[in-house]
Structure 1
Amino acid sequence: MSAWLISLEGTEAGHDLALLLALSAAFLHALFGALQKGRHDPWLSRGAIDFSYGLMALPFALFVVPWPAPQLWPILGGAFAIHLAYKTLQAQAYTKGAFTVVYPVVRGTGPLFTVIGAGWIFGEHFNALQWFGVAVLVTGIFGLAAYNYRHLQVARDTLVSALMLAVVTGFFVALYTTYDAYGIRSTPDPFTFLAWFFVVDSLAMPPLAYRRYRAMPATARPALGPLLSRGILGAVVAFFSFGSIMLATRLDNVGEAAVLRETSAVFAALIGWLVLKETVGPRRVALMALIAAGAVIVEMGG
């Protein structure tokens, strides 16, 4: 499969597959965010997810994919540090703010920084029409966040700090997207990077989550069975979500893949409506259409 994927790099078929992968990652990332923000403490959910995908990835890393070249280990170390900062900031933002407000702000700031970073690192530059598409998409995302903020009924006292954390988290989304694109392009087999990334990335959050769990009053601790079940489900989603966007950045333009992934704000709003039972009115539908239109403009402009 690796040889087939590599053969598609820079081709029209590779571009089409990257488009499909980026859109798949958008839906799965919104689902992943809802899982982390669901009924369990975000720190505990993230610890359970990371623990699960580390155990799942280890056999593949050891026995299936080619062994990493020496130069890949420092890259994996950098990815570990960036993702740890991202996950810490995201958990803090989710702890302080509503999912449908925080999530769009995180995802809205990400593509701006990613497109700039991709131009600087990979020499991939958007034309005027594509920048217009980015502006349309980001306007829709931030409009969705503003609408949700205006109609929010709970947790308003901590929302300002949550929004500040969300903006910083968005910067780290762009940082890890660009850095990981560099990482997956630096190894001959993309699945070597992905398998070892999940192993290395799983090392930090489970101990932090365990400490938080132990510090909770006994009456406040969630049952381990449902928490671990959520962790396993989240791990499967993470494999396909992160794997899809990383393969898309290897096959095609990093900035375009990042922008298309940010249609996850649309899926997040739909999940908030269908699963979290949040109200969706005509204005939110219009804002979601604006996000989708921005993504279409970026793709057509390319």
Structure 2
Amino acid sequence: MSLLVFLAVLSAAAMHATWNAMVKVHLDRFLSVTVLTLGMASMALVAVPFVEFPRAEVWPWIFASTLFHMGYKLCLIGAYKAGDLAQTYPLARGTAPLLAAIGGIFVVSEIPGTLSIVGIVLLCGGTLLMSFRGGAHLEKLNLRAVGFALATSVFIASYTLSDGSGARLAATASSYAVYLFLCDGIWSLILCLLVRGRQSLPAMARDWKAGIITGCLSGTAYWIVMWAMTKAPIASVASLRESSILFAMMISVFALGEKMTAWRGAAALSIVAGVIALRMG
């Protein structure tokens, strides 16, 4: 992985942590994600005149990714109902890069090198450790919650592989990203109306400014990731992206005054070691 791609993905991870910290707390996560997705679509709409319309062979990847994103959102809803998302969602984030690495072998014939594999394992392990607070609450997970978390990880890995493949096939990563964000925005709105009904519209409308800001951050971060996947192995990029949890920890400690504990320190060291291994790989 080149230094430019490495630094770009790290910046995307920092943006990912930032927009997560900025999401409005008075909306539930589903409505917040929907507003954010519509913000990404708005940003993409502005960029339409400046990118090439995707060729016919690119659209199956866009449609597949849109469906994978929809499945991802539905599993998040299920995870909220089944258990504590603070535990189930991180399980999904920590597992997804491993699934992407395995899927990449079969989908795009990418076999990670030894150092890259070490980096992926360290990053995923650090992410899980950070998220589960050293494993202190693992006994509280129920099978239904675990099932939704693992299903979520499958969809994350699926749209990662789909977007990496589609971005490589498209004229540019920007072209692919713009039309993916537009399609995802349309389907997210349809999904929201089906799940929550028309009464969700006024609640989302009140937060359109937050949606634009977080949507721009999220869209830019994921555009960088898709561009990076055209320059480096998909599994390495997907894993490096999860270093966002390290940036989130830094925000929580230095900006929000939360306590730095031993488990957080150990998880941070694991993530940093994984980042270094991916850079060397």
Query: C-alpha separation between the residues in 1 aligned to 2:204 and 2:170?
Result: 41
In angstroms, what is the RMSD of aligned CA positions? 2.9
Structure 2: tracts of 5 or more residues without a match: none
Residue 36 of structure 2 corresponds to 49
Residue 187 of structure 2 corresponds to 204
Query: C-alpha separation between the residues in 2 aligned to 1:174 and 1:79?
Result: 10
Kindly state the Cα deviation for residue 37 of structure 1 after the two structures are TM-superposed. Answer: 7.8
Query: C-alpha separation between the residues in 2 aligned to 1:277 and 1:160?
Result: 34
Residue 256 of structure 1 corresponds to 236
Query: C-alpha separation between the residues in 2 aligned to 1:38 and 1:270?
Result: 20
Cα displacement string for residues 261-301 of structure 1 (whole angstroms, at most 9, x for unaligned residues): 1112212333444566654313212211111112212321x
**SS of corresponding position for 2:230:** helix
Q: Percent identity?
A: 28
Residue 16 of structure 2 corresponds to 29
**SS of corresponding position for 2:186:** coil
The one-letter amino acid of 2:59's match is W
Query: C-alpha separation between the residues in 1 aligned to 2:63 and 2:145?
Result: 28
Kindly report which structure 2 residues correspond to 1:59-98, keeping only aligned pairs within 5 A, or say none. Answer: 59-61=46-48, 63-93=49-79
Kindly state the Cα deviation for residue 182 of structure 1 after the two structures are TM-superposed. Answer: 0.4
Residue 19 of structure 1 corresponds to 6
Kindly state the Cα deviation for residue 161 of structure 1 after the two structures are TM-superposed. Answer: 4.0
* Alignment size in residue pairs: 279
Kindly state the Cα deviation for residue 120 of structure 1 after the two structures are TM-superposed. Answer: 1.9
**SS of corresponding position for 2:132:** helix
The one-letter amino acid of 1:84's match is M
Residue 261 of structure 2 corresponds to 281
The one-letter amino acid of 2:180's match is F
Aligned pair 1:105/2:88, yes or no?
A: no
Q: Does the aligned pair in 2 maintain the 1:110–1:174 contact within 8 Å?
A: yes
Aligned pair 1:173/2:156, yes or no?
A: yes
Kindly state the Cα deviation for residue 129 of structure 1 after the two structures are TM-superposed. Answer: 3.2
Query: C-alpha separation between the residues in 2 aligned to 1:278 and 1:89?
Result: 29
Q: Which moved more, 1:35-44 or 1:179-188?
A: 35-44
Aligned pair 1:232/2:212, yes or no?
A: yes
Residue 128 of structure 1 corresponds to 114
Kindly state the Cα deviation for residue 87 of structure 1 after the two structures are TM-superposed. Answer: 2.2
**SS of corresponding position for 2:260:** coil
Kindly state the Cα deviation for residue 210 of structure 1 after the two structures are TM-superposed. Answer: 4.5
**SS of corresponding position for 1:202:** helix
Kindly state the Cα deviation for residue 243 of structure 1 after the two structures are TM-superposed. Answer: 0.3
- Give the structure-2-normalised TM-score: 0.86
Structure 1: tracts of 5 or more residues without a match: 1-11
Cα displacement string for residues 183-221 of structure 1 (whole angstroms, at most 9, x for unaligned residues): 0011122211111111111112223334626457xxxx8
Query: C-alpha separation between the residues in 2 aligned to 1:36 and 1:178?
Result: 27
Q: Does the aligned pair in 2 maintain the 1:35–1:45 contact within 8 Å?
A: no
Query: C-alpha separation between the residues in 2 aligned to 1:151 and 1:158?
Result: 8
Q: Does the aligned pair in 2 maintain the 1:100–1:272 contact within 8 Å?
A: no
Kindly state the Cα deviation for residue 85 of structure 1 after the two structures are TM-superposed. Answer: 0.9
Kindly state the Cα deviation for residue 90 of structure 1 after the two structures are TM-superposed. Answer: 2.8
- Give the structure-1-normalised TM-score: 0.80
Kindly state the Cα deviation for residue 138 of structure 1 after the two structures are TM-superposed. Answer: 2.2
**SS of corresponding position for 1:251:** coil
- Structure 1 residues 133 and 82: CA distance shift in structure 2, 3 A: same
Query: C-alpha separation between the residues in 1 aligned to 2:17 and 2:146?
Result: 18
